[in-house]
Amino acid sequence: MNEALMERLRNFLLREDNITLLGNPASQEEIDHAQQRLNVCFHEDYMHFIRTFGGAYIGLAVHAFSNGSSLGKETVVDLTLGFREQYKELPIAEVLRTSYVISIDGSGDPIFINPAGNVFICYHDSGEFKLLANSFEELIEESFCEW
């Protein structure tokens, strides 16, 4: 992720009044274990974000392993395995097998990153999925809200 965006995120998330939005940074051990468990490789931008902020809310809840208290306790592993199970009979199941779920929108739809680093949303009512951003960085840039 570009350093200017990371600096804006730091300035926002490290403010005292945003403490519930910020998680604990992910360790390399947590990342390695999750990638192995999910049989995926996390994109570098996502890893940079979670190594710095953990699971954090920046206009969008980005789940990792230790999330800000306003996000809940679901990890990227919990979300991914849960949606893989929930959608196992749908055509999206094949896509989810090689992707990882980083967030859920307000309607309960999973937001996930595929092996190429593209970010998609899957609509639970239809099983269809749509490209949200070409990269995690682009998603953050579009979602980031500095109240």
Residue the block writes with tokens 């929930």: 86
How many other C-beta atoms are found inside a 10 Å radius of the C-beta of residue 83?
22
The more confidently predicted of residues 1 and 27 is 27
Q: 91 falls in which pLDDT band (50, 70, 90)?
A: confident
Query: HEC states along 84-123?
Result: HHHCCCCCCHHHHHCCEEEEECCCCCEEEECCCCCEEEEC
Tens of pLDDT, residue by residue over 103-143, are: 999 999 999 999 999 999 999 888 788 999 999 999 999 99
pLDDT at 147 over 70: no
Beta carbons of 137 and 2 less than 8 angstroms apart: yes
Domains of the chain: 3-143 (3.40.1580.10)
- The model's pTM is 0.95
Question: How high is the pLDDT of residue 144?
Answer: 87
C-alpha dihedral (51, 67, 18, 140), degrees to nearest 10: 60
How many other C-beta atoms are found inside a 10 Å radius of the C-beta of residue 56?
25
Tens of pLDDT, residue by residue over 27-82, are: 999 999 999 999 999 999 999 999 999 999 999 999 999 999 999 999 999 999 99
The residues near 43 (Cβ < 8 Å, ≥ 6 apart) are 113, 117, 135, 136
